[in-house]
Homo-oligomer: A and B are copies of this chain.
Amino acid sequence: MKKILLSHGDGGSQTHQLISEVFQAAFGDAELEQEHDAAVLPFQSGDLVVSTDSFVINPVEFPGGDIGKLAVTGTINDLAVSGARPAYMSVGFILEEGLEMKLLKKIVQSFAATAKEAGIRIVTGDTKVVERGKCDQLYINTTGIGYREQGVQLAYHHIQPGDRVIINGGIGEHAAAVLGERMGIPFTAPITSDCQLLHAVIKKITEEFKTVRFMRDPTRGGIATTLKEIALKTTLNIVLEEERIPVKPEVRGTLELMGLDAAYMANEGKVLLIAGPQEAEALVQFLQDIPGHEMAAAIGEVTEGSGQLLLKTEFGGTRVLDMLSGEPLPRIC
């Protein structure tokens, strides 16, 4: 079969063939191969961390990744910023009739390779096929289950005035790569999505830095939306310094060409860390020493306040930033 047919979704012999030849061949997990309706897995007592995301990105392949890599990365990073060690993952595919089998296999391979790198087991899955024109190639849902690391205490209520806001690299790269690819914008310099697994870096940070109060990956809505959410939850203010926010010039240029602000653009390999001032400099240095995180920077500070996000501009003024609102930027992840 060169293309996905509706009968690949009927639950019968062709569904079984697809599962066995494409999914199991790539994922190779003993529990998955049982083909039960549910996976049965050992779990130590403690806290379970669960995160789910659906991925509908267009195009499904983009500079720096594809929907398969993204679907694993997104869920792993959500677990990691919650202080969890990834353990198990479920995956649900919605496939469009007519999808090229070659493309599906490529994406599934990418999914499997990323899961292997993350050390997470793919333990149960589901496949549906919808008619041509009722989906766009394929959508993927991943649900990740992790163990809460012992001793990791991350919560909004640990955040204090004086804490620093740190980011591990340049912002807006994922959105610029995807939107540029979608709209066929010729880049002066190649732009690659920052799509990357963060669990290993985050694990080291939580081991070595004890004043990290909170972490969050600024995906849809960008750093501004994520930080505004944190400000609202804590009813503290967050003050950003525009000139300290790292943005690669080609990313800024591409986004400005589209009239978009990098602070509101999706990232897929970035983490915002809120940490005590005494460790901020060392934490930034620690990050900068890791390949791929050289642009890490302290970009702002938590202050007493009332849930506002403020931006000190390069020209000396101060702007109030709100969440992303009304921007139709569909299918960026």
**What B residues does A330 contact at CB under 8 A?**
6, 9-10, 97, 129-131
Contacts A44-B45, A82-B37: A11 and B56 contacting too (C-beta < 8 A)?
no
A94 at the interface (CB under 8 A from B): yes
Contacts A14-B326, A84-B38, A325-B13: A130 and B331 contacting too (C-beta < 8 A)?
yes
Quick one: CB contact mask for A160-190 with B, threshold 8 Å, 1 for yes?
Answer: 0000000000000000000000000000000
Interface pick from A138-146, A251-259, A301-309: A138-146
A134 vs B56: C-alpha distance when bound (angstroms):
10
A310 at the interface (CB under 8 A from B): no
Quick one: CB contact mask for A219-262 with B, threshold 8 Å, 1 for yes?
Answer: 11100010001000100000000000000000000000000000
Copies in the complex: 2
Interface pick from A85-93, A105-113, A284-292: A85-93
Chain A residues with a Cβ closer than 8 Å to the other chain, count: 84
A48 vs B40: C-alpha distance when bound (angstroms):
6
A279 at the interface (CB under 8 A from B): no
Q: Footprint of B on A, CB under 8 Å?
A: 5-7, 9-16, 35-56, 78-79, 81-82, 84, 88, 90-94, 97, 123-126, 128-131, 133-136, 139, 141, 143-146, 148, 216-217, 219-221, 225, 229, 233, 264, 266, 322-331
| Known A10-B220, A12-B264; further 8 A-B contacts with Cβ < 8 A | A11-B220, A37-B216, A38-B82, A45-B46, A52-B92, A54-B93, A92-B141, A130-B136
